[in-house]
Chains A and B, each alone.
Chain A
Amino acid sequence: MPNNRLNGRPKMPQRTVQERIRDFDEVPLGLEKWAAIEEAKRCLQCKKPSCMKGCPVEIDIPGFIGLLAQGKIDEAVMKIKEKNSLPAICGRVCPQEEQCESLCVLGKKGQPIAVGYLERFLADYEREQGIDLQKMPTQNGKKVAIIGSGPAGLTCAGDCAKMGHKVTIFEALHSAGGVLIYGIPEFRLPKAIVAQEVDYVKSLGVELELSVVVGKTLTFDDLLQDGFKAFFIGTGAGLPHFMNLPGENLNGIYSANEFLTRSNLMKAFRFPEYDTPTKVGRRVSVIGGGNVAMDSARTALRLGAEEVCLVYRRTKKEMPARIEEIERAEEEGINCIILTNPVRFVGNENKWVTGIECIQMELGEPDESGRRRPIPVPGSEFVIPADTVVVAIGQGPNPLLLETLPELKLNKRGYIEANEVTGATSIPGVYAGGDIVTGAATVISAMGAGKKAARAIDDYLKNKS
């Protein structure tokens, strides 16, 4: 028996650094069947499973793991799909270590069950073996409009359809998936998998209309006239923040959204076979310390950069990215320049960026978020040379749709005010969830919000008739 069988958690097999940094293929390879079953057997099948409290979409974790332990793979997959229409995605990008796995009782003394790996295994197995799960619900003809096809929208759509409603998703871009398709890179979440999960949602009877910008191509009034009775807004936090520093519009400076969209959605990594170009210099600096920054840095490396560094104003401990992703980035040779904050961008006479002038930071007292606040060290300015810069410091709410709905109540930060339990907004029949409510968060929390809203929409439609 191969020696990565442990008495604890299995290790995720992954491609070597040399192999993976020059292409966009997926890095972790997934567990083999025997390893998944062995791991499932380790689960204590708790009567009061604490792990489930960490799962925003309420997957019956001991339930599916128990079935897997008995080798009942088809049933295990069904068990997951009762609650989660996108398991192949969650198994890959959920921050499991902070969610379900962080609450597993086995984690108290030893290592928690690898819930995410098992979920991924089952979803992949289903896809590869083509298990047929389709059960088309009967549709009662109530029309529900879902705006945005990110994880929040897809989940809400799938659940509404399962409850028998006639659902249409409207998506502004030419491909469904939201950040899953335009933001998260191929090597972390293959687009074929996203497409397949979208197909699954479609197989539930959901219609998908791409290249429709709600608020522009169709207005809310148009949708009302078309007979839509309930709405879910899942438009995400797609507005890139810039630093508003001098020189930020020099050539060679990208927002992470642009950089990742060119590569992922537009497939610039296959230029000129695909028409959209992208440009990566020899030295790339990525500003930020979240998942988005890691993805940008690792994408830059794969697009041919010789040196890639992350510029972050606090220390590694405060980086919001998943630990696994920071580790993978470092393994690949990405250098973290911590306690450093940009003050301006330096360019040449042709208005191309040549470097970032930065200032050293030190950590002061904790701020509201509990993290120690970085403060500049006077006189410590220095220049990091760079011919490509990616600004990955966060996103805000895209106002495009919101501007067309003045009666929709927003909070101070410009996000939609929605009931935490139901997703209800200030407009009756209009629900919202995901990043457009919480600000940039996680795939699974967006899905959780979509799920709750679906339930509330179902109640609303029942009471309405």
Chain B
Amino acid sequence: MVKIIKKEVLTPQIKLMVIDAPRVARHAKAGQFVIVRINEEGERIPLTIADFDSEKGTVSIIFQEVGKSTIQLGELNEGDHITDFVGPLGKEIEEKNFGHVVCVGGGVGIAPIYPKAKVLKKLGNRITSIIGARSSDLLFWEDRMQSVSDALYVTTDDGSYGEKGFVTSVLDRVIQKEKIDLVIAVGPLMMMKMVSLLTKKYELPTLVSLNPIMVDGTGMCGCCRVTVGKECKFTCVDGPVFDGHSVDYDELLARQRNYLEEEKRAVENWLMKKAEEGVHHAK
């Protein structure tokens, strides 16, 4: 059982929660994640550690409401409890001075890119950040990203804020004019694929953080397996950060769709149940 000590609505669909989890906070590193199970009936869902404070013993998570579990999580409030909060899981990113690092965050991927930019900045890297979303109402933490970046670019697909277009077009421009030592991209799989295709052309080392479906998060089930190079890797223990140029994105895109029907049913079922409860209360 862990307690939600702060909740912030970043955008209508994206929420931040600060969790009281001293053990997780103590060992947390940039790149790692937690597994959350809301209640006894809940599924185990991975969420990136978006920020942490080892002294206060807190861990921040940011999630986009996309289905049953994230919608239900979003309904919880300060003071409420979450049944399980396991972590920190996965491997941290290599912490060293690479030189010039470009951090690309797409959509809710801004959350996981932030701690990476933060720690790398602290280690003396020059940080250029490019954050983007479909539209302005999915953008958040521009200020925080600004605080850990030497340069920051913001894009929206529909032009509702910042530059109209994709993060990849900005990245292409930065590549043209500056020397880059490392690119880190986190966001929707399609975005990470596009970034990797682009940086491959220039042979720029690229790291991506993968988001396959998981169950245990400890290397026990193999649900999170991905092909990297010619090898089968378990994202939860071998990753989630991998060399972007070696990932088989198409395989992973298919695997993420494994349960689409069931996920749809789960949401419908949940919304119906809530509607019924609502009617009940109204009476």
Contact = CB atoms under 8 A, between A and B. Distances in A.
Interface of A: 172-174, 182, 210-213, 216-219, 238-240, 242, 244, 248-252, 254-255, 257-258, 261-262, 266-267, 271-277, 279, 350-352, 398-400
B13 interface: no
Given A261-B216, A266-B215, A275-B68, A255 B37 contact: no
Interface string B248-283: 001100110111001101100110000000000000
Interface residues of B, number: 43
B225 A249 contact: yes
Contact of A261 (B85, B215, B232): B215
9 contacts: A174-B86, A213-B89, A217-B23, A254-B223, A258-B215, A275-B68, A276-B43, A276-B44, A279-B262
B266 A255 contact: no
B277 to A, nearest CB: 15
B222 A257 contact: yes
Contacts of A248: 232
B198 interface: no
Nearest to B252: A249
A266 B44 contact: yes
A174 B23 contact: no
A419 B87 CA distance: 32
A210 B84 CA distance: 9
A272 B266 CA distance: 6
Contact of A255 (B68, B221, B254): B221
A219 to B, nearest CB: 7
B251 A351 contact: yes
Contacts of B69: 275
Given A271-B262, A279-B259, A262 B215 contact: yes
Interface in B52-103: 68-69, 83-89
Nearest to B258: A251
Interface in B115-170: none
Given A249-B226, A398-B220, 8 more contacts: A173-B216, A213-B87, A239-B219, A250-B254, A261-B220, A266-B215, A276-B215, A277-B266
Given A213-B86, A262-B215, A276-B215, A400 B237 contact: yes
A211 B82 CA distance: 12
Nearest to A244: B232
B258 A279 contact: yes
B27 interface: yes
B24 interface: yes
Contacts of A250: 254
B86 to A, nearest CB: 5
B246 interface: no
A350 B23 contact: no
B143 to A, nearest CB: 31
A398 B218 contact: yes
A358 B269 CA distance: 41
A352 B251 CA distance: 10
A399 B27 CA distance: 19
Q: Which of A217, A219, A266 has the most CB of B within 10 A?
A: A217
Given A244-B232, A248-B232, A239 B254 contact: no
A257 B44 CA distance: 15
Nearest to A255: B222
Contacts of B42: 275
Given A251-B254, A251-B257, A275-B69, A400 B88 contact: no
Nearest to A401: B218
B41 A251 contact: no
A216 B221 contact: no
Given A172-B86, A258-B221, A277-B263, A249 B255 contact: yes
Contacts of B216: 172-173, 261
B257 A257 contact: no
Contacts of B89: 213, 216
Nearest to A350: B254
Contacts of B258: 251-252, 279
Given A174-B84, A213-B86, A251-B257, A398 B27 contact: no
B222 A240 contact: yes
Contact of A216 (B87, B259, B263): B87
A239 B43 contact: no
B254 A400 contact: no
B178 to A, nearest CB: 37
A400 B236 CA distance: 10
B57 to A, nearest CB: 13
Contacts of B41: 267, 273-275
Q: Which of B24, B42, B86 has the most CB of A within 10 A?
A: B86
B197 to A, nearest CB: 20
A238 B86 CA distance: 18
A414 B259 CA distance: 34
Q: Which of B216, B232, B262 has the most CB of A within 10 A?
A: B216
